[in-house]
Amino acid sequence: MKGTNELKYVLYARKSSESDEKQAMSIDGQLMEMKEKAKREKIDIVEIVTESHSAKETGQRPQFNYLLDNIYKGKYNAIITWAPDRLSRNAGDLGRIVDLMDQGKLKLINCYSQSFSNNPNEKFLLMILCSQAKLENDNRGINVRRGHRNKCMIGIRPGPAPIGYINIMRANRISSVEFDKERAPIIKEMFEKVAYEGYSGRMIKKWLDRINFKTPKGNKMVLSRVFATLKNPFYYGEFFFGKHWYKGTYQPLITKALFDKVQIQMETYPKQWNKQVFPFKKICICGNCGSGITAETKYRVLKSTKVNTHTYYHCCHSKDMDCREPYITEEEMINQLISYLPLMKLDKNYMIREFKDEIKRVNNMRMIIENSSYQGKELTPHNGTEEIQPTDEMIRNYLLHILQFGTPQERIRILNGIRSKFELSDKRLIIRN
């Protein structure tokens, strides 16, 4: 290929967050095909970048953003990928690609069946193909929403059935749900134990583990899923989808009266249901299904009898019981939040008050230590100096300090001053300003 020796390629492979069987070609398949093409054409691949993320929204793919940033810096100047729609299915990302081509920083996009250089006709064709992919996405979204709405109107909740039920496809291609004969009785007993025996969520979890209860995928039922199951109205015959409530046409597992009794029991003993403090739950949602984020702490006793504790954040499954968003440790979450510090939108008035209160507390403590004759007087500022007027840099450094070393309560308080919201997708935080 002409000019190949002047080009430094990055191989980019992507699939959406859907399962492999729903993909035209999985990441492994894309890599295999493009590596063979690179070998045939003697292409120099500098780096391989892969990503499992939808391309429907602009700027929300971390690895794609990384790729464009490296092109801008000159690390590579050509892309080899399976098809144009692997790169973009939205106008924003397409514009960023074309802009790099206009600047001469991106010289060639090499796809399986065609290539696109910094040529007006080829760029125009690239824009047409990517726009076609966007049109397909938009139409697919409309059709999916219409199908979901029609299902809800006839009393069928779209998506996987909650645990205790199984999905059934009828001859007329309309799906329904039926009892999972193995698990439905146990799920019903969960409700009964809470309502009539006073079980808490953690007690239910221990009971399920004791009887070796497994989900259809062969996993133990995590605590967050226990809570979500006990709060799910689907089991008495109603469900919420989109912005509306619907009456199901399937057979309820429990009565409305039993469900209501469980909810009262859960409200009666709230401390039994959530004893720990998890500061980062409120600033983040699941990027795969839109559910909230919850957390749990796991304990491991070492041979030295020392107990190691690790806190994990994950999807709470309120919108999709089978969401596959993986766990992320609290340490990983903090490190990623720190990387977003320069981009965070802050409530400056709130942060300034917190900063000044912290300075006051530190000065008072210093005075207690330094002056044995301290009589409990509030001292601000220290040693008669002028009151500190915090700069933006000082506030962000203070936020950094609390994120790294603060107590859970201190973190909760300081996070109230962050206006930015985040999504958790593929164990990566994505800022939503």
For 79-96, the pLDDT digits (tens) are 999 888 888 777 778 888
Range name among 42-51, 106-115, 233-242, 266-275 with the lowest pLDDT average:
266-275
Name the average pLDDT for the chain.
80
Is 60 exceeded by the pLDDT of residue 236? Answer: yes
Which of 80-94, 112-126, 223-237, 405-419 is the most confident on average?
A: 223-237
Is 50 exceeded by the pLDDT of residue 359? Answer: yes
Is 70 exceeded by the pLDDT of residue 189? Answer: yes
Give the pLDDT band (50/70/90) at residue 3: very low
What gap in Å lies between CA 270 and CA 163, rounded to an integer? 24
Query: For 251-303, how does the pLDDT look when each residue is reduced to its tens digit (9 = 90+)?
Result: 899 999 999 888 888 775 444 444 567 888 888 888 888 888 888 777 665 55
Greatest extent of the chain over all pairs of C-alpha atoms, in Å = 87
| Contact between residue 143 and residue 228 where contact means Cβ atoms under 8 Å apart | no
| Contact between residue 39 and residue 18 where contact means Cβ atoms under 8 Å apart | no
Q: Which of 365, 355, 369 is nearest to 413 (CA)?
A: 355
Question: Given this model, what pLDDT does residue 78 score?
Answer: 92
Is 90 exceeded by the pLDDT of residue 191? Answer: yes
Question: Given this model, what pLDDT does residue 374 score?
Answer: 45
Q: Amino acid letter at 168?
A: I
Segment 48-72 shows an average pLDDT of 80
Q: How much of the chain exceeds pLDDT 70, in percent?
A: 80
User: Which residues make Cβ contacts (< 8 Å) with residue 433, sequence separation at least 6?
Assistant: 343, 345, 420
Is 90 exceeded by the pLDDT of residue 212? Answer: yes
| Contact between residue 278 and residue 294 where contact means Cβ atoms under 8 Å apart | yes
More confident: 318 or 236: 236
Q: Global pTM?
A: 0.41
Q: How much of the chain exceeds pLDDT 90, in percent?
A: 14
CATH for 4-146?
3.40.50.1390
> What's phi and psi for 221, nearest 5 deg?
-80, 115
Question: Given this model, what pLDDT does residue 180 score?
Answer: 92
Query: For 365-393, how does the pLDDT look when each residue is reduced to its tens digit (9 = 90+)?
Result: 677 666 644 444 444 444 444 566 778 88
Which of 126-135, 137-146, 169-178, 375-384 is the most confident on average?
A: 126-135
Question: Given this model, what pLDDT does residue 384 score?
Answer: 47
Is 70 exceeded by the pLDDT of residue 147? Answer: no
The residues spanned by each domain of the chain are 4-146, 154-273, 346-417
Segment 14-35 shows an average pLDDT of 69
> If you search the block for the tokens 């006051």, which residue do you land on?
360
Residue range 154-273 forms a domain whose CATH class is alpha beta
Question: Given this model, what pLDDT does residue 365 score?
Answer: 67
DSSP string spanning 339-398? HTGGG--B-HHHHHHHHHHHHHHHHHHHHHHH-TT--S----SGGGPPPP---HHHHHHH
What gap in Å lies between CA 400 and CA 405, rounded to an integer? 9
